[in-house]
Structure 1
Amino acid sequence: MQRLLIILGLLVLVAGLFWPWLARIPFGRLPGDIHIQRDGFDFFFPVTTGLLVSLVLSLLIWLFRR
């Protein structure tokens, strides 16, 4: 568990350092993400992005446990 938390912390650190370049990737605006805009109301629900993040994290955890 300690190794996993250290690795996740390092990944967050690297993502923070590379944020100016990562912000250009259309991540979070994938097809399947729900975005509703009306007068005075803005709703965003990242369905596809959430599924993709879950898949990648599950794969990484599975690889680290082997």
Structure 2
Amino acid sequence: MPEWATLGKILIGVGFGIVALGILLIALDRIPGFGNSLSWLGKLPGDISIKRENVSFYFPIATSIVLSVLLSLLFYILGWLFRR
């Protein structure tokens, strides 16, 4: 069952990556000047936000597109570096 061992290692690596990202975001929030560095996220023009009396609906279309492009570029660069 070496396939399960590989999958386990990948899941552990992804978990450590998520924890590292969380620690980084907490640290950035405590540094003066960097606390608002991600405040644009979710407030871009093109994000749909509807608020009524009893209902609120939010769909971040523009934010999703920007994050998709940034993550695609990041993974492309990482893939290019590891193929060398």
TM-score (normalizing by structure 1): 0.72
How many aligned residue pairs are there?
63
Q: Distance in 1 between matches of 2:45 and 2:72?
A: 21
Between structure 1 and structure 2, the one with the greater Rg is 2
TM-score (normalizing by structure 2): 0.59
Residue of structure 2 aligned with 1:32, choices 46, 55, 61: 46
Q: After superposition, what is the alpha-carbon deviation per residue over 1:11-57, rounded to whole angstroms, capped at 9, x for unaligned?
A: x3233222472773221111111100001000000001000110011
**Corresponding position of 2:55:** 41
Any gaps of 5 or more consecutive residues in structure 1? none
**Corresponding position of 2:21:** 15
Structure with the greater relative contact order (CA < 8 A, sep ≥ 6): 1 or 2?
A: 1
**Corresponding position of 2:69:** 55
Bigger proportion of residues as strand: 1
Identity of paired residues, percent? Answer: 30
Any gaps of 5 or more consecutive residues in structure 2? 1-6
